Structure 1
């Protein structure tokens, strides 16, 4: 991850912290989320989620818009800059995986991926699996 963040900084995303990635991941799978939903996903208070949203909005990664059914809530969604950052992370991650494949071979890497997927699926039978930071 240090390598990914160094590459991001070199490409103009030096203000992204690892914790932001968990918010980006959550937001990338929906057409907006409330601060409460993001807080739940991250395992933080609503106030902490609002602070994170404020920070990401100032940096141009997310924007707020009206909620379609709840006038008291606002939805947070990724901006073009947020999506660009995700695309760079995905591209760099693919490069890292390519490097790993040269070290151990495509078959071994595919086998490892299959094993890890089986572990996650097994865990999901007992409780929902979410990608969030362990504070």
Structure 2
């Protein structure tokens, strides 16, 4: 089973341009409580390097591209994010990293919960230990 869970969003539009709609409990599989985005990421500076105990997210690269690495504590998989009509589901207890951001990258993230520092697992060793104890 693949660690990468892609969500394809319908692209609507006409000669004026395109429209992509993200809707809670429809094409986003949870109630949306928080939205944030990464932009202006410096060359060679990766982001992420954590997992969440309960939080579920969908990441969408609305402009540019970046490399997403998903890691369940046993195996790792990579996917290039470069389409505003495709999202990557970041499930609970999934270590994730983002690398190789293009200069024009805007990475939008939709979250199932409000920010809670206690939900973060920031040590990879702690993450693997928690996975092995589940």
Which of the two has greater helix per residue? Answer: 1
If asked which structure has higher relative contact order (CA below 8 Å, sep 6+), I would say 2
What TM-score do the two structures reach when normalised by structure 2? 0.25
Q: Determine which structure has the larger strand proportion and give its number.
A: 2
Question: Which structure is larger by alpha-carbon Rg, 1 or 2?
Answer: 1
